[in-house]
Amino acid sequence: MPQKTSGSGSRLRGMGVIVGIAIAAIAIFALTHALKHVNYDEVFTIVERTNADVLALMLVMLSYASLTIYDLLALRTIGRPEVPYRIAALASFTSYPIAHGVGAVALVSPVIRYRIYACNGLGALDVANICFLTGLTFWLGNLTALGLSLFYEPGAIGLVDYLPPQVNRGLAALLLCGVASFLLWSWLAPRRLGTRRWPVRLPSGPMVLLQIGIGILDLGAAALAMYVLIPAGMNIDFFRLTAVFIAATLLGFASHTPAGLGVFDAAILLGLGGEDQEPLIAALLMFRFLYHFLPFVLALGLFGGVEAWRSLSAKR
């Protein structure tokens, strides 16, 4: 029986890799086609004229601040409320940008979190539970926001999934019903998952509701940061942008490319772009710098500084 389970897990991982490669290949083809006739001088001119970068930076900071609450909620759920917020914030801010920046979230994020939390009395099982619960918060927030956006603007991702608005609205209803069912299931009684060797305590109903709110705040702030960078003349509705933004983010995760490079951008250009691509590409470049590159550099420096300080302290 263990061998069968192991074989099934290997097949699922292999299918995940194949799907990721297929998504990345299709996205690169679409992105190459979209960028074929772009005037890059005009793109950089638009970047220089943009005066919403400070507001976008503040929204990015709000998004990353809400990410720190992911870890705090997870710590409360696993029964470790004594771990201070500054440790949760450090683990969150160092793990997310670095893991997404290198494109190996499932491998890098637990290692970085373990390095941070181990010095505060948490073991590998605790860190595994934290990673699972923070992922749950991410998915609850994303699926809820995607469902609401698609229900309001069902044709928003028609150019990404090639489905008619009626089908997208039906999918939105299914997503919202799924989230509501999980919320109700969690509210009725304490829930657990996993095995005897790896038990996972699920959050209570009120905690799930809070997770959904924090997830929407994180996603909403990130999407709004991009929204303010897009020139007003493009007349892109915020709900449409949010739906496309979430779809692009999820496709980027599925591709396993560093920061969804190529995949996220292709989905944004397909979902929001028209004949005039230059303003959207300019907004993408600025968003990439503020949301991905800058936090990645800061997180690397912060994590490296913490590791260097611990190494020096150990030698002393």
Q: What are 233-254's pLDDT values in tens digits?
A: 788 888 889 988 988 888 888 7
Averaged pLDDT, 210-235: 91
Residue 117 has pLDDT above 70, yes or no: yes
pLDDT of amino acid 259: 78
Torsion on CA atoms 200, 203, 204, 206, rounded to nearest 10: 180
- Alpha-carbon gap, residue 150 to 247, rounded angstroms: 10
Per mean pLDDT, which range of 85-89, 97-101, 125-129, 273-277 is the poorest? 273-277
- Which two structure tokens, joined as six digits, stand for 173? 């209803």
- pLDDT category, 10, cuts 50, 70, 90? low
Phi, psi of 199 (to 5 degrees): -80, 140
CA 12 to chain centre: 22
Residue 16 has pLDDT above 60, yes or no: no
136 sits in which H/E element: helix 124-152
pLDDT of amino acid 1: 39
Q: For 236-270, b where at least 16 C-beta lie within 10 A, e where not — what string?
A: beebbbbbbbbbbbbbbbbbbbbbbbbbbbbbbbb
2 within 8 A of 236, measured Cβ to Cβ: no
- Which two structure tokens, joined as six digits, stand for 266? 């292709």
- Alpha-carbon gap, residue 118 to 68, rounded angstroms: 18
- pLDDT category, 20, cuts 50, 70, 90? low
84-106 per-position pLDDT tens digit: 999 999 999 999 999 988 877 88
The residues spanned by each domain of the chain are: 45-306
> What's the predicted TM-score (pTM) here?
0.85
Averaged pLDDT, 2-9: 47
pLDDT of amino acid 289: 92
Torsion on CA atoms 18, 23, 26, 30, rounded to nearest 10: -170
Going by C-beta distance under 8 Å and a sequence separation of 6 or more, which residues neighbour residue 111? none
